[in-house]
Structure 1
Amino acid sequence: MFYNNVKNFVGFFLKILYKLEIYGEENIPKDNKRLIICGNHRSNLDPVFISLAFRRQVFWMAKKELFEFKPLGWFLTKLGAFPVDRHSNDIKAIKNSLKILKNENVLGIFPEGTRVKEIDYNMIKSGVALIAQKTNSEVLPIFIESEYKFFKPIRVYFRPSVAIESTKKYDNEELEKISQDIMRMVYGEETKWKLL
């Protein structure tokens, strides 16, 4: 209820300031099963507009620095977000991710880890593929295209979802390659490693 109330309130004003355009809605899985949203990251507004474009609640993995200011941390936690330390193997964040997905919810991740201007697939680590495989979750790649200027379009593209073979044994290097290929799907490029 809190999430939906905030979403409707914030969405009312943002849709006045920006023109939200949504493409590929047919690619969104129709059921309410566990799902990982995986997007590119250019602005702090990215999770807001993805959430506005998406029907279900998204539980966002967010950098821990956002939670250091207690009022903001409380607000984000109420919205279902949780912190991650981007500079270490954050076991607690992984456990939170697994719990969210095992409860048949939607997890939101920006695999690039920070806002980026240029694509660097070497930044992409194994996390997305690892979590998806452990929970047998589909991954929905999403691309946001915008300069975030008032009254200009914000285009959200839902790419076709992908599943990772849950019974196959992958080593960490292969999981990294799968995660990199998922980001290639986000950017609308051809996959490279052919492990999916």
Structure 2
Amino acid sequence: MSFYTFARSVVKLVLKPKFKVVVKGTENIPKDGPIIICSNHISNFDPPIVGITCPREIHFLAKEELFKNKILAFILRHVHAFPIKRGMKDRNALRQGLNVLKEGNVLGLFPEGTRSKTGEIKKGLAGAGFFALRSEARIIPCAIIGEYQSKSPLIVSYGKPMDLSKMREEKASAQEVTDVIMEEIRKLKEIG
């Protein structure tokens, strides 16, 4: 059993019942090939929640500060997370993300870049569009709906793969692509 599988089982055992997690749309996630899961960001629990609800292993971009603690850094690296410097272009992280996709894996992104304190979906950063335009990956929008409380269910909803071929042909900007992705996440959230 890999460390990822073990960690995922433990986290699932703890978080799924605690937050009454309800998962929708996993049939929309391709079983193979490169995909980018783009989710809204409302809590520090979002990465593990997306990680335990997605049927495939995810490689998450995580803020560099999390890797300063040696124990946490060890765990993060063993669950396929890698650091990104916030507020600047981090070429190493961009290269690593593209390699994840080139190898046919899943890249997990929170395009807003930071948690929304109000729960409202904010404008996404251009990074999601960059990965979408520079790879052949299919984009899966994901909406985390509800609050991290034990009283009401927390819904994790995966949308259908987005077809961005026209935007690629038209040489859309990374920001334009991100805006379209964020709109799909908003629609998923509204549907519930």
| TM-score, normalising length: structure 2 | 0.89
The two structures, once aligned, show a CA RMSD in angstroms of 1.6
For the Cα contact (< 8 Å) 1:40–1:144, is it kept in 2? yes
For the Cα contact (< 8 Å) 2:26–2:55, is it kept in 1? no
The sequence identity of aligned pairs, in percent, is: 33
Tell me the equivalent position of 1:182: 181
Shift of 1:170: 2.0
CA distance in 1, matches of 2:122, 2:32: 32
Tell me the equivalent position of 1:194: none
Shift of 1:68: 1.2
Shift of 1:151: 4.7
Which runs of structure 2 are paired with 1:34-183 in the superposition (5 Å)? 34-116=34-116, 117=118, 118-121=120-123, 124-165=124-165, 168=169, 170=171, 174-183=173-182
* SS of alignment partner, residue 187 of structure 1: helix
Tell me the equivalent position of 2:5: 4
Question: After TM superposition, where is structure 1 displaced by more than 3 Å over at least 4 residues in a row?
Answer: none
Deviations 1:53-102 (A, max 9, x none): 11110000011111111211111011100011121011011001011011
Deviations 1:115-138 (A, max 9, x none): 0123332xx232112212211111
Deviations 1:110-169 (A, max 9, x none): 000000123332xx2321122122111110000001210125311001111113228625
For the Cα contact (< 8 Å) 1:17–1:151, is it kept in 2? no
* SS of alignment partner, residue 56 of structure 1: coil
CA distance in 1, matches of 2:163, 2:136: 8
Corresponding letter in the other structure for 2:63: K
For the Cα contact (< 8 Å) 1:136–1:164, is it kept in 2? no
| TM-score, normalising length: structure 1 | 0.88
Which stretches in structure 2 are left out of the alignment for 5+ residues? none
Which runs of structure 2 are paired with 1:28-39 in the superposition (5 Å)? 28-29=29-30, 31-39=31-39
* SS of alignment partner, residue 134 of structure 2: helix
For the Cα contact (< 8 Å) 1:129–1:164, is it kept in 2? no
* SS of alignment partner, residue 61 of structure 1: strand
Which stretches in structure 1 are left out of the alignment for 5+ residues? 190-196
Corresponding letter in the other structure for 1:3: Y
* SS of alignment partner, residue 83 of structure 1: strand
* SS of alignment partner, residue 177 of structure 2: helix
- Give the length in aligned residue pairs: 184
Q: Which moved more, 1:102-111 or 1:62-71?
A: 62-71
Tell me the equivalent position of 2:25: 24
For the Cα contact (< 8 Å) 1:50–1:156, is it kept in 2? yes
